Amino acid sequence: MAFLMMVVVHFIAVKRNMPREDKIPLSEWPAIVFRGALPLSMPIVLLGGIYSGVFTPTEAAAVAAFHALVLAGVVYRALTWRTFWGVVLESTRGSAVITMILAGSFMLNYAFTAEGVPQAMAQWVDSMHLSQIKFLLLVNVMFLVLGCFLDVSVLLLVFVPMLLPAAKLLGVDLVHFGVLVVLNMMIGLIHPPFGMLLFVTKALTGIPIGEMMKEGWHFLVMLLLLLLAMTFFPQIVLWLPQTMGYGAK
């Protein structure tokens, strides 16, 4: 996925003749790495805390904010009380927009649940007697469509448990199934018309959603092609886990 994103970035940069930065001499690398060591420690702190069980992935967001606050205010002294207050106001406005979207998605989730949509969908999937590939393609379509309207937590808590029995019955590898579901939800977050991250980015940057999609469709197409390849060729997903012992008796 990272490679495909780099290909798109390179293609756009060459097509638009974007300027290149001057090459940095090797002699300057140590000083640059030293200056960036503390900010680059954030992923180490976050992943170390999550995998050690010190805090949850949700709490990691607060830890990341505190880590950045300490670095900006205490270590680098780049943050004054005035700029800090501006950051708080901007964060509040952005959070308010996201909270309203989340509230709307949970209202839609309540309507789905109250009307028995998940149960009806489970019966519909079961009645189709699909093969593995057809089932996974159907899952892709379902999650891409639902991801445009529902929050990720709703998809995980409502629709994944509904589809798991069918996946097991068809002999679909659950690691393969899980990775496909996660990638589907990720694409749904940036997929128009109601992708959550589109609204988050708009709230943070003020860039209209239409303009973002005009610039972002290349990345979306690449992600969809990758999703299709992962669906038809499970080894793209399973090669590394199996190499590390997954599935070994």
**Domain co-membership, 110 together with 206:** yes
Distance CA 133, CA 167 (A): 11
φ/ψ of 212, rounded to 5, equals: -65, -45
**Domain co-membership, 178 together with 224:** yes
**Domain co-membership, 153 together with 222:** yes
pLDDT digits (tens, 9 = 90+) for 59-112: 888 888 898 888 888 888 888 888 889 888 888 887 887 777 777 767 777 777
Q: Is the pLDDT of residue 230 over 90?
A: yes
Q: What is the pLDDT of residue 225?
A: 93
**Domain co-membership, 123 together with 33:** no
Lowest-pLDDT range of 21-35, 118-132, 136-150, 179-193: 118-132
Q: What is the pLDDT of residue 248?
A: 58
Q: What is the pLDDT of residue 14?
A: 92
Q: What letter represents residue 179's amino acid?
A: V
For residue 92, being part of any structural domain is answered with no
Range of 75's domain?
27-79
Local confidence band at 226 (pLDDT 50, 70, 90 cut-offs) = very high
For residue 248, being part of any structural domain is answered with no
Q: How does DSSP classify residue 92? A: H
- Vertex 109: Cα angle to 108 and 112 (nearest 5): 90
Q: Is the pLDDT of residue 122 over 70?
A: no
For residue 8, being part of any structural domain is answered with no
